[in-house]
Amino acid sequence: DAGVIQSPRHEVTEMGQEVTLRCKPISGHNSLFWYRQTMMRGLELLIYFNNNVPIDDSGMPEDRFSAKMPNASFSTLKIQPSEPRDSAVYFCASSWGQVSNQPQHFGDGTRLSIL
């Protein structure tokens, strides 16, 4: 079975540019999560969706960040304008949210570098 698919795997762009990260969750999963991992702050939850609806976006750093889930098989995380401090690994994860013991399955991440 296909796991969570993220694209691109690596992104290098200049400060001020718009960045769009993409995620395809595991088929049948109804919860989707966006995380950011840095050395300083570890793994932080940015936002999560249940049944395509954003449930908790309290981890989104600021208005420059936005996330959408237009359907059950696709989500985007957008940063506009990007800044060097946004450099991190961004993970998407999905799970079957109705059962409490179900783990979140992670994609391979997008390594983002803002110059």
Partner 1 sequence: AQKITQTQPGMFVQEKEAVTLDCTYDTSDQSYGLFWYKQPSSGEMIFLIYQGSYDEQNATEGRYSLNFQKARKSANLVISASQLGDSAMYFCAMREGSQGAQKLVFGQGTRLTINP
User: 66 pairs with which residues across the strands?
Assistant: 78
Closer residue to partner 1 in complex, CB, 15/55? 55
56 binds partner 1 per the rule CB under 8 A? yes
Q: Which of 45, 54, 73, 78 binds partner 1 (CB under 8 A)?
A: 45
Query: Is residue 3 within a helix (H) or strand (E), and if so which, with residue range?
Result: none
57 binds partner 1 per the rule CB under 8 A? no
At 86, is the secondary structure helix, strand, or coil? helix
Determine the size of the site formed for partner 1 (CB under 8 A): 26
Distance of CA 75 to the CA centre of its chain: 8
Residue 41 makes CB contacts below 8 A (sequence gap 6+) with none
How far apart CA 51 and CA 108 sit, in angstroms, is 22
Least spacing, CB of residue 108 vs partner 1, in Å: 5
Return residues touching partner 1 (CB under 8 A).
31, 33, 42-43, 45, 48, 50, 55-56, 89, 91, 93, 95, 97-101, 103-109, 111
